Amino acid sequence: MTDTLVSKIAAAAIDVGGKLGTDKRNQEQRYDYVSADKILSVCGQALFTQGVVVAPEIVEQTVNPVEYVNSRGATGKRYDCAVSYVFHVSDGEQTQSYKWVGMGSDYSVPDKALYKAITTGHKYFLMKLLCIGAGNEDAEHEEEPKEEVRPARQPVTRQATTEELEPAAMSLESASEVLNSAGEKYITLDSEKLSMMTIGINKGLEKKDITQEQRDEYNYKLDAIRTILASRQ
């Protein structure tokens, strides 16, 4: 094989192979994933072994504060951040540059949202560069609900329960900006999937050891789902 930048990236992908197994668990939606720390460590070493370096360049970043009122009537603020990258992949002789975007949200301070967007963008770029699919945090890898918690057999166009559609203290405009862990807006998801997501969120609320910040975030997501489902009736 010709010793080109592309062949070195391919060799790094082969080296990573099946080394990456899930090492973290999303407690809210009950799925396992590969952490950013593990991705950057394993993928970085595989690329370095081939003499390849990935240099991220941030060309633009935006942080938007979003105010909301949760189900208890308390006002809160969330920070949504988007980071535009150019990733330069080089072996010292050849360089390929790729545009990329990272997204992140935080309920405390804007700099955390920024760093989450930076980390997420870097992680997913390396995963796609080296064709890593294990533990991907998107809808394709979400587990089906356990049999014991699945609703009784119903038509595919399942109607939301009364509890799910109780009046929500959130505008549809605000609800439309809420994102899941894969960066997808709730408003783009179908009603059945949104309804099923409330199961995992309510389980999270039942935990005794969650912080008030986590509780507010769960309630915020429930408000968004209720608002979107109610708008579709």
Give residue-wise pLDDT tens across range 15-24.
998 777 777 7
Tell me, yes or no, whether 202 lies in a domain: yes
Q: What is the DSSP string of 81-150?
A: EEEEEEEEEE-SS-EEEEEEEEEEEESS-HHHHHHHHHHHHHHHHHHHHTT--TT--SGGGPPPPPGGGS
Percent of the chain clearing pLDDT 90 (strictly above): 35
Tell me, yes or no, whether 127 lies in a domain: no
Tell me, yes or no, whether 131 lies in a domain: no
Give the pLDDT confidence score for residue 6 in this predicted structure: 95
Tell me, yes or no, whether 225 lies in a domain: yes
| Total structural domains within the chain | 1
CA distance 61 to 83: 4
Give the pLDDT confidence score for residue 204 in this predicted structure: 81
Give the pLDDT confidence score for residue 135 in this predicted structure: 58
Give the pLDDT confidence score for residue 148 in this predicted structure: 43
Tell me, yes or no, whether 169 lies in a domain: yes
Query: If you average pLDDT over residues 147-151, what whole number do you get?
Result: 45
Domain with 209, as residue range(s), is: 160-231
Give residue-wise pLDDT tens across range 179-218.
877 778 888 888 888 888 888 888 888 887 888 888 888 8
Question: Confidence class of residue 31 from pLDDT cuts 50, 70 and 90?
Answer: low
Tell me, yes or no, whether 207 lies in a domain: yes
11 has pLDDT over 90: yes
Q: Return mean pLDDT, the chain.
A: 80
Tell me, yes or no, whether 57 lies in a domain: no
CA distance 183 to 102: 9
Give the pLDDT confidence score for residue 26 in this predicted structure: 63
